[in-house]
Structures are given as structure tokens and as C-alpha cells.
Amino acid sequence: MDDLSLEKIEISGSILASLIQRASSSPSDVDGLIFGQIHRIVSSNLPDDSPADSFASSSSSDQVVATVTSFVCSGKTVSFYDPLGRVNSRRVDSLRVDSPDRLIGWFSARRKTANRPSMRESAVTSSLSSQFHLPIEDSQNPKSTNMASCVFFLLTTPSTDQCIHTHEYRAYQFRSSKQRLEPRSVGIVNIGPAFRGHYGSFSPKSGFPPLVCELDSSAMVVDRDDGSLGAKKQAAKDQKEIDALAEGLQVGDLKRLVGAEAASFTGGIEDMYERMLAKIQSLASDVETSSAFVFQQEKHNRKLRNRVARIGR
């Protein structure tokens, strides 16, 4: 089958962050494999005309979108191919043995280089496309088809030293018919109401480092020895109110933001944030009222001091 053009390549914010973290924490340049799904999305445009003319003037378009669900980092370069860019299928199988997803491409991360594919990276992508075809999941047609193409992610750092350490990334699709890499737009899928629908079709499966979800009691202790008793009581009261807002949500539950439970768990997090914002708005209103009262009291005291000063003369 001839290779089709991808409309865009989607990747969740957590997977992209994990990919950048793995690339930046490695002692040298690295590469690896990318896994995911290819979906064909068919959208129809039915005009608001009479029923007789609606089907005649309707138009439909299908888009092919690649979704990255996980990746495997080799920890080095030239891990599944030789220096000439020829892919070794046995090495590929050894890297993908732990991933349940389908192979859709690979990535390369290098430091202080231009953000464009090299000749060897183009050769590796071409060799990988000839051996592994992208499976297209079509909701309209249950029978899966393949596409002779490959997805390639390139991560680089600026070639000059900068005060702020940044990472640059670009996504490409290899077109077998043209034998070249073409840039594609990258869609970052984040957690929130606007992106909640994305988590119904896939679940991130990238290997994340273990999350330390235990509170250190010593880090939460605030030295208030020089404060008054009233300040301590007020601080204790505020802490109780904050604990009441976060009731039912523990620090250990934050790991549920990644995985299959993300879609259902984000609703509770957002509700907690809304209640905290309402509490902050209430406190801000109280502070504003108190400040106005203090200003009026100070103004009244100044008048009294001036009156006493005149009487003393």
C-alpha cells in the first residue's frame, strides 16, 4: 500500500516530558523506538440546507493521525542499526519485547547540533520503513491496513551555551514514495477538560521513574517560636481549613494522574482546585476589608494625636 500523509503526530505531555528527561539525563547521545497507534479519522461536513440537497452538497474528509503511547530508550546510539544506517530486525525485536504497543518509528536525541535529520538518520528511517509498516486503525473499516512509512522524532539542544537549558524537538514522517523525511506538526495532549477525550482512546504506558509520594514531616515544620500565641492559633486554623479542602485526596494518589485512571481522577483534582480558588478569593476579600479598616483606624488615630498636640500647646 502506498504511504499516506499524516495530518499530525500526537503525544501526551507526560510522555514527551519523560522522553526529554531521559535524553537530558543520559551521559551521551541516545536513540530508541517509538510505539503507538495510527488512526484514520473521517469527518463529514453536512450543510444546513434542505434534506434533498444536503447529501448532494455534503463533503467528507479523512485524516490519518499518529498517536505516541510509549517509547523505549536504548541508552546509547547505533543500538538497532549499523553505522551505515541498516536496521537489524533482531535488535529491534529485542528492544520492543517489553512494549505491548505497535512499533511506529524511532527517535534520536543529540546535544548541541542542528535540529535537522542527518544522512544516517534518514537512512535508518528508510530501512525501518521498509521492514516495519505502520498499522492503520480504521473505525469505519474493522480490517486493519498498513502504511509503508515511519515516524521519526529528533531531540536536540542549542549549539551555543545559554543561561536557560532548553530542548528542541521536531517530528517527521518518512515518505517511502519520495524517499525523504517531511516535517509534521506535533500535538501535545495534556491533562484537563479540553483534552479529556484523548484519554478514552489510549493510555500512556511509558516507563516512568517511581514517584516518591511520601510526605516528609520535617519539611512541613515551620519555626514559629518568635511568633505570638494568636498567630499560632490562626496558622493551625488555616491548616485545618486547607486539610478540609483536600479531604480524600492524598499525595500518594498523584500517581493516578498517569495511566488508565487519569480520565476519572482529573475531575476530582479540578474540583479541589476550584474550592481552593474560592477559599483564596474569600481570604483576599477579608484581607482587603481588614486593610481598609486598618487604614481608617490609623487615620482616626492621627487626628487624635494632632488634637492632643494642639491642646498641649
pLDDT in tens, 55-86: 444 455 677 888 898 898 888 888 899 989 99
Tell me: do 274 and 191 sit in the same domain. Answer: no
- Please check whether residue 39 is in contact with residue 211, taking contact to mean a CB–CB distance below 8 angstroms: no
Q: Is the pLDDT of residue 226 over 60?
A: no
Asked whether residue 42 falls in the same domain as residue 153, the answer is yes
- Is 213 a domain residue? no
297 pLDDT exceeds 50?
yes
Residues 171, 63, single domain; the answer is: yes
Q: What is the DSSP string of 205-237?
A: ---PPPP-----GGGG----TTS-HHHHHHHHH
pLDDT digit string, tens, across residues 199-208: 554 455 555 5
Q: In angstroms, what CA-CA distances link 180 with 112, 136, 227?
A: 24, 21, 69
Mean pLDDT of 229-250: 68
Exposed/middle/buried for residue 151 (C-beta within 10 Å: 0-12, 13-18, 19+): buried
Judge if 107 and 155 occupy the same domain: yes
- Which residues are 153's β-sheet partners? 107, 171
- Cα dihedral 85/89/94/98 (nearest 10): 100
Whether 3 shows a pLDDT value over 80: the answer reads: no
Provide the grid cell at 12. Answer: 501526551
Tell me phi and psi for residue 256, to 5 degrees: -75, -10
- Is 77 found in the same domain as 26? yes
Within a domain: 52: no
Q: How far is CA 287 from CA 232, 279, 283, in A?
A: 18, 12, 6
Domain identity same for 167 and 248:
no
On the question of pLDDT at 168 being above 50, the answer is yes
If you average pLDDT over every residue of the chain, what do you get?
Answer: 75
**Number of structural domains found in the chain:** 2
Q: In the prediction, which pLDDT does 154 show?
A: 94
- Does 36 or 195 have the greater pLDDT score? 36
More reliable by pLDDT, 224 or 181: 181
Selected residue with higher pLDDT from 225 and 92: 92
Do 161 and 231 sit in the same domain of this protein? no
Whether 308 is in a domain gets the answer: no
Which residue type, as a one-letter code, is found at position 188? Answer: I
Q: Classify residue 218: in a domain, yes or no.
A: no
Query: Do residues 59 and 44 lie in contact, with contact meaning Cβ atoms separated by under 8 Å?
Result: yes
The reply to whether 116 and 255 lie within a common domain is no
Residues 18 and 79 in one domain: yes
| Cβ proximity of 109 and 244 under 8 Å | no
> Could you list the residue range(s) of the whole structural domain that residue 268 is in?
223-299
pLDDT digit string, tens, across residues 110-137: 988 888 899 999 999 999 988 877 666 6
Query: Does the residue 162 lie in any domain?
Result: yes
237 and 175 both lie in a single domain: no
Of 165, 200, 235, the residue that ends a domain is: 200
Last residue of a domain, one of 200, 235, 269: 200
Which pLDDT belongs to residue 109? 92
Residue-level pLDDT at 55: 44
- pTM, two decimal places: 0.55
Are residues 149 and 284 located together in one domain of the fold?
Answer: no
User: 313 pLDDT exceeds 70?
Assistant: no
Average pLDDT for 279-295: 84
Q: Is residue 211 part of a domain?
A: no
| 310 belongs to a structural domain | no
Same domain, 196 and 228: no
**Looking at residue 163, which CATH number applies to its domain?**
3.40.140.10
Within 8 A by CB and 6+ apart from 87, the residues are 80, 81, 124, 127, 128, 131
Q: Residue 184: what pLDDT?
A: 92
pLDDT at 290: 86
Is the residue at 209 inside a domain? Answer: no
Q: What is the pLDDT of residue 223?
A: 45
Q: Can you give the pLDDT at residue 45?
A: 53
Highest mean pLDDT among 105-119, 159-173, 199-213: 105-119
Q: Give the total residue count for the chain.
A: 313
